[in-house]
Chain A
């Protein structure tokens, strides 16, 4: 059973930076590098917002317009790790950040789905 565990959340000042990590485990017959990995966030009391996706080999990334140029998703397949580098943080970035495994190898594939999800890590941006 694949399990995901996020870390790295906390309090950051506006304009500051944080780096989130997502540790993946439980890949048996298939490799971590075979699957797209995603970041999704949820502001307090709000709905789900897709943030970014990284291809299985890490060579292709997509980011939401709301974070483009400030956030960078990456992965280290040798460690089964996913990362989200968040720079120039704003108050509106305050949210729980979830990592989620996709079922495709590339972020642009059709018919993908997110499963499983990690438990999330809270990022608070405030002075």
Chain B
């Protein structure tokens, strides 16, 4: 199984900041990496797929990059509604493992 490790586990930031979350895979997986946002009491929402493709309707302040084993999610100009938990997920192989999450507060 591919293990996904996110860092940091939590992150403190302010409105207007630029932040970066990292996701590292235990083996190389091309760009088969997705990012999800989850707010308390809500279902996860797809933000970015294939490492860098923004899902329709997602603001352009979100961006993703990386390939192989190292990936990043960047949020520029943080907005109040961006404070949530973020998960990466690999779909290079089954099981479709998730990172442990990064809580942005």
Per DSSP, are chain A's interface residues mostly helix, strand or loop, or mixed? loop
- What is the interface residue range for chain A against chain B? 20 to 34
**A112 nearest in chain B by CB position:** B91
CB <8 Å contact, B32 and A50: no
Q: Please count how many residues in chain B sit with their CB below 8 Å of the partner chain's CB atoms.
A: 27
Chain B nearest Cβ from A113, distance in angstroms: 4
CB <8 Å contact, B96 and A119: no
A10 to B101, CA, bound (A): 26
List residues of A whose CB falls within 8 A of some B CB. 38, 40, 47-50, 53, 62, 64-65, 98, 100, 103, 107-120
Name 5 A/B residue pairs within 8 A (Cβ), A-sorted. A40-B44, A110-B91, A112-B91, A113-B50, A117-B43
List residues of B whose CB falls within 8 A of some A CB. 30-32, 34, 36, 38, 42-46, 49-50, 55, 87, 89, 91-101
